[in-house]
């Protein structure tokens, strides 16, 4: 029983490392070859995890082999456009200039109901509002609405918003993010002075952030009862 426990931990760590090396895509954004490899890795890990009689390396070695295969295919995808089309396929235009492309729907085995469902997932409830709908190689549908139906942006009114930049976490769960302080050209003394305005020390904060406009958000950690 203890052997099974440790085998499960080892295989979990191996799979975790392999999945991290494969990249940061979300499940819904995986290409077909990435999804296939992910499923195979899960199957390969489950067998030696539960079957003590099977050497653990019988699971680890094929998993590492699939990682090499994934990295190889990824490099080929980057280097060759033709190979990319063969391996990943090409996007399909389901709606073109406001008109549903019936041939594309049939080819991709897409029903009108599925198309409407995907549009609602993009916050579009009316087919008549869509200029283009593109089925990406990952299976997601990108929707481009007609110009008169799109949300307005400052540029439409000749307004140029101020630059906002990105927010920085300066304290997370009481731990000071020194690298972020260095990135903004500040130090601990400055941070402490800012946080003291909220009647606390940096180590007492749940989170402290600084946005691009210099505004500080600070929240104190709740006191846990012993």
Q: Is residue 42 part of a domain?
A: yes
Question: Is 113 domain-assigned?
Answer: yes
Residue-level pLDDT at 205: 93
226 pLDDT band, cuts 50/70/90, is: very low
For 44-70, the pLDDT digits (tens) are 888 777 777 778 888 888 888 888 888
CATH of the domain at 118: 3.30.240.20
Question: Per the domain annotation, does 54 fall within a domain?
Answer: yes
Q: What is the pLDDT of residues 157-169, one digit of tens each?
A: 888 877 777 889 9
Output 69 or 206, whichever has higher pLDDT: 206
Statement to judge: residues 210 and 174 lie in one domain: yes
Q: Please tell me the number of Cα atoms within 13 Å of 45 on its side-chain side.
A: 22
Query: What are the residues whose beta carbons fall under 8 Å from the beta carbon of 210, sequence distance 6 or more?
Result: 167, 168, 170, 184, 216
Is residue 116, in this structure, part of any structural domain at all?
yes
Are 110 and 143 members of one domain? yes
Write down which residue in 106, 121, 149 finishes a domain. 149
142 inside domain: yes
Return the sign of the alpha-carbon dihedral for residues 83, 84, 87, 89: negative
pLDDT bucket at 93, cuts 50 / 70 / 90: very high
- For residue range 109-148, list pLDDT tens digits in order: 889 999 999 999 999 989 899 999 999 887 889 999 998 8
- Domains identified in the chain, total number: 3
**Would residue 28 count as lying in a domain?**
yes
120: containing domain: 92-149
- Closest to 18 measured CA to CA, from 62, 53, 57: 62
Q: What pTM does this model have?
A: 0.62
Same domain flag for 129 and 175: no
State the pLDDT at residue 1.
Answer: 61
Q: What is the pLDDT of residue 97?
A: 92
């Amino acid at each position: 029983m203890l052997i099974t426990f440790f085998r499960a931990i080892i295989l979990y760590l191996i799979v975790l490392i392999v999945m991290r090396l494969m990249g940061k895509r979300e499940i819904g954004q995986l290409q077909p070859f990435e999804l296939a490899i992910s499923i195979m890795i899960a199957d390969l890990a489950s067998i030696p995890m539960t079957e003590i009689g099977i050497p653990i390396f019988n699971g680890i070695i094929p998993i590492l082999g699939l990682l090499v295969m994934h990295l190889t295919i990824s490099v080929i995808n980057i280097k060759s456009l033709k190979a990319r089309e063969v391996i990943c396929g090409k996007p399909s235009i389901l709606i073109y200039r406001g008109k549903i492309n019936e041939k594309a729907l049939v080819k991709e085995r897409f029903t009108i109901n599925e198309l409407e469902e995907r549009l609602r997932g993009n916050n579009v409830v009316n087919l008549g509002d869509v200029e283009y709908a593109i089925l990406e190689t990952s299976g997601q549908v990108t929707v481009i609405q007609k110009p008169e139906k799109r949300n307005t942006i400052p540029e439409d009114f000749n307004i140029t918003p101020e630059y906002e930049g990105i927010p920085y976490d300066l304290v997370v769960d009481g731990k000071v993010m020194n690298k972020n302080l260095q990135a903004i050209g500040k130090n601990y003394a400055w941070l402490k002075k800012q946080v003291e305005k909220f009647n606390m020390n940096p180590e007492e904060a749940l989170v402290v952030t600084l946005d691009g406009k210099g505004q500080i958000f600070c929240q104190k950690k709740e006191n846990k009862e012993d």
